[in-house]
Amino acid sequence: MSDAVRQFDWSRTALGPAPQWQASLRIAVDMLLASKFPGCLVWGPELISIHNDAFVPLLGAKPAPLGKPLSVIWSDVWDDISALAQRAYAGEAVFMENFALDTDRNGDVERAYFTFCYSPVRDESGQVAGFLNTVFETTETVRNEQVWRERADAFEQKIMEQTADHERIWELSSDIMMLVREDLQIYAINACGRELLGWDDSFIGRPVLELCHVDDRPGIEAVHQQLRAGQTVQGFKCRYRHRDGHYRWFNWSIVPSTGIYTAIGHDITLDQERAAALVQAEELLRQSQKMDAVGQLTAGMAHDFNNLLTGISGSLEMIERRIGSGQLDGLDRYIAAAKEASQRAAVLTHRLLAFARRQPLDPRPADLNALVHGMDALIRQTLGPDIALQLKVEPQLWRTLVDANQLENALLNLCINARDAMRAGGRLTISTGNERYDARVAGRDGLPPGDYCSLTVEDDGQGMSPQVMERAFEPFFTTKPVGQGTGLGLSMVYGFVRQSGGRVWIEASDTGGTRIRLVLPRYCGADSQPAASVPVPAKVSVPGKGRILLIDDEPTLRMLIKEVLQQEGYDVIEAVDGRSGLAACLAGPPVDLLITDIGLPGGFSGRQVASEVRRHNPQQNILFITGYTDEAIAQRDTLEAGVELLTKPFPLDRLQCKVKVMLQRAESRGPGAGTPAP
């Protein structure tokens, strides 16, 4: 641009030839051309313009302005800037920031923005001869600021709208909304919360732990830890105290943010009360059903036992009459009738105990395949010629820990029921298998995950309706004609399997066919050692020898047992409770055999007596006699060596046989088996 200025014919302008310029003009031009900042020097009353290189981009496509008046160069905006020029000529420094001009620089009128300063320049006489215009275009900056401002205004409007929405939600929400500080003090609560809880401004600033139910405080503290870790909490239920003292239930959703927790709680008090009422109603229904079952059980027991007691008492009365009249012949018939009735009563009580899961069990490792094959002939004989028996056994069957005798009874019961359901003949299938239940599948009837052995009895008989299947395990429930079933068979199976740690399920339809499946826990332990084989003594009049301690709180039974053992030649000491029996055992001469009931009065059971005696003499022979077994016996894998169990009621000759076997076994082990340790 310096060359352009020097080569320009300034004589054609009001400024005249350049060599003749005043010193002030030359100095101003030199300063302008040396500047890198966009500038234009305006000189003389004609407003002749001289500009530098940096000024050119501001002109756009306008004609070359060098040597032309400013009013010509910016003729399209001269009305907007002429007054500013006049102010500069008057000696005023004029500064304009982001000054808007609608100018045609590229063929179209556009609004452009400029920040510029008109600085007066004086000549040698001190008069204002012109001004220096330093300028830069701010169009893009202004437009960006406008866009930003528009967006900021829109955002501010949106925030205001959202704030208004939030305030409306805060005030109109039907859920309680609460702001809580990080120290769990209440910061704010909405109108709904105030209404639901009766709170006012006096509750602001109080700790939430002070206002919640005492039982819910541990849960709130646990939720607090989650919130402090930045976790959102959903579905937390707790109670808050109303101003009048009662509590209301809320289901909370809580979101943490910096220094504050936002909590929204839905009032579920009515739902909780309804749920509690439903639970209570269900409990009352279960209690009612239980009482119905107890009533049915009691009625069935009363009916069967009345029949049996009538047979026993009638037989005894006839014996009394015949003896009174001197007619001794034919007494055997009444004695046999009384014994048969008592045996039937014993079977009935055993079945009831099996249903109640209180029968004495002698669980031992067992092979179900061997048990099924061992009963093959008996089952075929029971089924008769019209029913085919098919066995499907797992060749690699696991072992299970079970009372084999009771399982045989259960299997026989199931086969008899199946036979009665196939009156026109059919097929009965007995199968065994290995089954594994993991946590995803287990849980049916509370079955724990693990390995199980299954025993399944399936028939193609008449089947069961859903109503019958639902009641099949109830005691004394039967679909058989009167006199053909007690209704205790399936209930006995159910109780026995549950007591053994397993489950029993029925699958049937009323169109035909029934499948009953027993699952028993797998046994992975070592085989128990069988007791040494001791010959069962024959019924010969060989005097017994040994000292026996008998503990039982039933006087009649104690009298009978004592007399029958004394008749055999044993020395019998009797006691009525556990503490006196223990004292007699430890204080007197050595006892060869302890016979004790399990359930004894005075808070000291037969099991405790046995444990204390064995603490002094680990080899002490013990015979438990009981009408049922408590958990101390039922939950043991097997009875300890030298310990036997005899279930009441029992024939006296069976007691005699058991006593002789145990004493002979002790004798074979050598001296000291029945002698307390010093």
**395 lies in some domain:** yes
pLDDT at position 533, please?
A: 40
Burial class (CB in 10 A: 0-12, 13-18, 19+), 74: buried
pLDDT at position 571, please?
A: 92
- Other beta carbons within 10 angstroms of residue 136's beta carbon come to 15
Q: Are residues 466 and 409 in the same domain?
A: yes
Burial class (CB in 10 A: 0-12, 13-18, 19+), 542: exposed
Indicate the angle between helix axes 331-355 and 489-499, nearest 10 degrees.
50
Sole residue written with tokens 């399920």? 505
* pLDDT tens digit sequence for 537-583: 444 445 567 899 999 988 888 888 899 899 889 999 999 999 999 99
Sole residue written with tokens 């503290």? 221
Q: Phi and psi dihedrals of 365, rounded to 5?
A: -55, 130
Q: Are residues 458 and 410 in the same domain?
A: yes
At 212, which CATH number? 3.30.450.20
User: How far is Cα 502 from Cα 531, in angstroms, rounded to an integer?
Assistant: 27
CB 623 within 8 A of CB 658: yes
Among 307, 322, 355, which residue terminates a domain?
A: 355
For residue 484, is pLDDT > 90?
no
pLDDT at position 575, please?
A: 92
Sole residue written with tokens 């900042």? 37
User: How far is Cα 608 from Cα 578, in angstroms, rounded to an integer?
Assistant: 8
Strands of the 593-597 sheet, one edge to the other = 571-575, 547-551, 593-597, 622-626, 643-647
Q: Are residues 469 and 429 in the same domain?
A: yes
Say if strands 547-551 and 593-597 run parallel, antiparallel, or are unpaired: parallel
- For residue 495, what pLDDT band results from cuts at 50, 70 and 90? confident
Alpha carbon separation from 402 to 365, 407, 410, 453, 496 (Å, rounded)? 6, 7, 12, 11, 10
Mean pLDDT of 219-234: 92
**537 lies in some domain:** no
Alpha carbon separation from 57 to 38, 52, 53, 60, 137 (Å, rounded)? 9, 10, 8, 6, 10
Q: What percent of the chain has pLDDT over 90?
A: 30
Q: Are residues 341 and 404 in the same domain?
A: no
Among 506, 521, 536, which residue terminates a domain?
A: 521
**106's tokens:** 């590229």
**385 lies in some domain:** yes
Residue 24 belongs to domain spanning: 2-137
More confident residue, 633 or 505: 505
Per the document, the length of the chain is: 678
**304 lies in some domain:** yes
Mean pLDDT of 385-396: 91
Q: Are residues 373 and 514 in the same domain?
A: yes
Supply the DSSP string of 551-595, one letter for each residue: E-S-HHHHHHHHHHHHHTT-EEEEESSHHHHHHHHHHSS--SEEE
For residue 357, is pLDDT > 70?
no
Mean pLDDT of the chain: 82
**59 lies in some domain:** yes
Ranked by mean pLDDT, the top range of 104-108, 132-136, 342-346 is 132-136
- For residue 358, what pLDDT band results from cuts at 50, 70 and 90? low
Task: Report residue 197 CA to chain centroid gap.
Answer: 31
User: How far is Cα 515 from Cα 200, in angstroms, rounded to an integer?
Assistant: 67
Mean pLDDT of 93-103: 93
For residue 527, is pLDDT > 70?
no
Q: Are residues 326 and 383 in the same domain?
A: no
More confident residue, 174 or 299: 174
| Structural domains counted in the chain | 5
Indicate the angle between helix axes 578-587 and 606-616, nearest 10 degrees.
20
For residue 340, is pLDDT > 70?
yes
**28 lies in some domain:** yes
* pLDDT tens digit sequence for 118-166: 999 999 989 999 999 999 899 999 999 889 888 888 887 887 777 666 6
pLDDT at position 635, please?
A: 40
User: What are the residue ranges of helices labelled H in 173-242?
Assistant: 191-197, 208-211, 217-228
pLDDT at position 493, please?
A: 83
CB 249 within 8 A of CB 240: no
Q: Are residues 369 and 490 in the same domain?
A: yes
Exposure class string for 446-485: b at 16+ Cβ within 10 A, else e: ebeeeebbbbbbbbbbbbbeeeebeebbbbbbbeeeeeeb
* pLDDT tens digit sequence for 469-481: 777 777 666 666 5
204: Cβ contacts below 8 Å, ≥ 6 apart: 186, 187, 188, 189
CB 258 within 8 A of CB 247: no
At 626, which CATH number? 3.40.50.2300
Q: Are residues 75 and 127 in the same domain?
A: yes
Among 90, 122, 137, which residue terminates a domain?
A: 137
* pLDDT tens digit sequence for 152-165: 888 878 877 776 66
Helices (H) and strands (E) in the chain, counts: 21, 22
Q: Are residues 371 and 501 in the same domain?
A: yes
**675 lies in some domain:** no
Q: Are residues 180 and 229 in the same domain?
A: yes
Q: Are residues 388 and 502 in the same domain?
A: yes
- The half-sphere exposure of 17 on its side-chain side, counting CA atoms within 13 A, is 2
Q: Are residues 482 and 551 in the same domain?
A: no
pLDDT at position 541, please?
A: 46
Mean pLDDT of 24-30: 90
User: How far is Cα 402 from Cα 445, in angstroms, rounded to an integer?
Assistant: 20
CB 570 within 8 A of CB 545: yes
CB 432 within 8 A of CB 455: yes
More confident residue, 638 or 372: 372
At 491, which CATH number? 3.30.565.10
**131 lies in some domain:** yes
User: How far is Cα 660 from Cα 658, in angstroms, rounded to an integer?
Assistant: 6
Q: Phi and psi dihedrals of 406, rounded to 5?
A: -70, -35
* pLDDT tens digit sequence for 180-218: 999 999 988 888 888 888 888 888 899 999 889 999 999
